[in-house]
Structure 1
């Protein structure tokens, strides 16, 4: 302080120093009413709200504006009147230092303010009475888990009764007083006891909530899985019904001859129906084959069965095996194929039937026989249901060799268009012949011989199986 310029006022909150220089000017308010009226008439609503005094007309205000001291005095009077009609709660502010600097704490200055504000005396007074007061709902919400009568929700008549039951269970009813809306607690030890009980129960409650929430999540996930499987099940049923409806639509005309659904395309099935569709395709093929076979005349059935047997043996071994032509089988008795000697063969056939008592002629044809010395001779081949005969056409079809049919073990052909056939017999030499095909010249009779022999082997039952290897081109 400087002598003659500064003065200091001793205040309970601390010493306040003032300067006489400009003291009166600072006390004056040079903000005249014209400026307030100008700011109030602004188009900005914020400025209008900041200067409410500007609403007065110029004719109503003629005095000079009030000084700062007068305004402060008036505000203090209004504050006292407001506090008198209310229940005040005082807030004490402690200044950390006199220099208004952040992060600096003057301990002596703070102790001085605490002593002059009477904070310690106020605390002692509060402790002498009821130091803590809480509304019943707030107290019950915080400590209800410590009592079996109030957790999770009480069934008593009021919150006050629930609080009373809680305190009786803890033995603390002597340290409290019940008001109309609040609970008054005398000693801090009561709150400490309640807080300790609450702290012990919080982990248990947390585990309970976690268990309940995890159970809720698990049940929700289970319901979602069930919904997913339900949707999948109904979608699969829909796909199955749609596929069956599509099959029914496509195969409506399958009974119409002569194709019987040959050109129909099977729709791609769902994965679950793939075995079912494979079975259906097999059944459809059998049904279609039955429909086609049913229209074949009985006189052609033997030829069809022989062709089927030949196809099963030669389908992947030989491309040309005469499946597209009619099979005569007994070419030696045919006047077309054997015009000059068919009568002689008929007589020889009659004599052989009486001698060997065979039933039917399976195959007969002129052949070119090749012996072990690579020499060839004209011969005839006769296949019945009991024997395989090699005949000499130059000597009225005299029998040169007879092999029981059950002794025939196999047959070998080539993959080309030639008519070479090797017949294998058990315990005898192989018979190597080349079938004649003079009428017509390009007639292929290898497949016919293979089919007839294979058909006979199938019908005989216990006879050895027929094989048709492909040793050469």
Structure 2
């Protein structure tokens, strides 16, 4: 144990030669005598020295055995962990494939359904695919929206875009934004809304089109204007793709104020039933009006106004 020539096993011809080699390695060959089966040591000092060397080497051997055993345990734990991870990886792959097959079977013929699969329930995904399921549902909803939009006639697309814009801006802020009814836009020209004055409005609108070269009418409606002295007056607003006009319906829709649309910087609406609207301008000369309708009298047009303007400015930004 205390010599590299004899530990752990010697390769000498005999055990006696191994003992002789061990004694010679430590320089005690002059202090010992060899018998046939025994070793005779002359002085106690040699014996004590050999015992001390044995004790020191025993500590090193114990540490070595502990190191080997700890390494063995670590390798066993590594193999078990690796096996567990391999099993878990294959299990996750199985769950992912099973989920994808289930989704594929459930939505295989969704294009043939009238509602494009709106009522189909999504299978529960494994935890590893929760974010993937959110992305997949987003892709599906965009596809379904595109399919629904494709089925809408071109004449209804502007109204649909305006309603979507109004819902994005006013959802949660107003209870009624008029999504369930058809949006007419040019209400002043409609006889049910203004039977006495619709005939006098059309020539004014045509003259403004000739003068200001607008391409389309976005919105028109009778309003009640509130000035800085809290005085309420009947007015009308006429919004085209170029200007916002404030008119006096009592004077054959005479234009009282013209605001270019590029001067509008914002729009504020109330969350009640009063349909109060504030047009914010760059020069801080805001226009405060309250929309109202004659037929029906409780018809809410705030959502239509907000949606039409939002949709228009989105198209303008895309062109720029």
For Structure 1 versus Structure 2, the TM-score category normalised by the shorter chain is 0.7 to 0.9
Which structure has the greater CA radius of gyration?
1
Aligned residue runs from structure 1 range 388-403, under 5 A: 388-403=244-259
User: Offset at 1:230?
Assistant: 2.3
Aligned residue runs from structure 1 range 108-257, under 5 A: 145=1, 151-153=7-9, 161-169=13-21, 170=23, 174-176=34-36, 185=37, 189=41, 196=50, 199=54, 201-257=57-113
Q: Which residue of 2 aligns with 1:309?
A: 165
User: Offset at 1:203?
Assistant: 4.1
Q: 2:232 aligns with which of 371, 376, 393?
A: 376
Q: Which residue of 2 aligns with 1:69?
A: none
CA, structure 1 residues 350+153, in 2 after alignment: closer, same or farther (shift >3 Å)? same
Contact 1:147–1:166 (8 Å) recurs in 2: no
Hey, what's the Cα distance between the residues in 1 that align with 2:106 and 2:3? Answer: 76
User: Offset at 1:146?
Assistant: 6.6
* Counterpart secondary structure, 1:320: coil
Hey, what's the Cα distance between the residues in 1 that align with 2:271 and 2:252? Answer: 34
User: Offset at 1:212?
Assistant: 2.3
CA, structure 1 residues 210+432, in 2 after alignment: closer, same or farther (shift >3 Å)? closer
Deviations 1:245-287 (CA, angstroms, capped at 9, x unpaired): 3333443343344322323344444443333223223222222
CA, structure 1 residues 309+204, in 2 after alignment: closer, same or farther (shift >3 Å)? closer
Q: Which residue of 2 aligns with 1:436?
A: 292
User: Offset at 1:444?
Assistant: 1.3
* Counterpart secondary structure, 1:255: helix
Deviations 1:348-390 (CA, angstroms, capped at 9, x unpaired): 1111111111111111122233333333333222100111112
- Does residue 445 (structure 1) correspond to residue 301 (structure 2)? The answer is yes
Hey, what's the Cα distance between the residues in 2 that align with 1:373 and 1:148? Answer: 111
CA, structure 1 residues 154+315, in 2 after alignment: closer, same or farther (shift >3 Å)? same
Higher relative contact order (CA 8 A, sep 6+): 2
Q: Which residue of 1 aligns with 2:263?
A: 407
Segments of structure 1 that go 5 or more residues without pairing to the other structure are 1-144, 177-184, 463-473
Hey, what's the Cα distance between the residues in 2 that align with 1:445 and 1:202? Answer: 96
Segments of structure 2 that go 5 or more residues without pairing to the other structure are 24-28
Hey, what's the Cα distance between the residues in 1 that align with 2:306 and 2:16? Answer: 111
Deviations 1:60-115 (CA, angstroms, capped at 9, x unpaired): xxxxxxxxxxxxxxxxxxxxxxxxxxxxxxxxxxxxxxxxxxxxxxxxxxxxxxxx
Hey, what's the Cα distance between the residues in 2 that align with 1:205 and 1:430? Answer: 93
- Does residue 273 (structure 1) correspond to residue 129 (structure 2)? The answer is yes
Contact 2:185–2:220 (8 Å) recurs in 1: yes
CA RMSD of aligned residues (A): 3.1
Contact 1:149–1:165 (8 Å) recurs in 2: no
Hey, what's the Cα distance between the residues in 1 that align with 2:194 and 2:3? Answer: 121
Hey, what's the Cα distance between the residues in 2 that align with 1:204 and 1:362? Answer: 94
TM-score (norm 1): 0.57
* Counterpart secondary structure, 1:297: coil
Hey, what's the Cα distance between the residues in 1 that align with 2:107 and 2:309? Answer: 38
* Counterpart secondary structure, 2:137: helix
Number of residue pairs the alignment of both structures matches: 306
Hey, what's the Cα distance between the residues in 1 that align with 2:141 and 2:246? Answer: 41
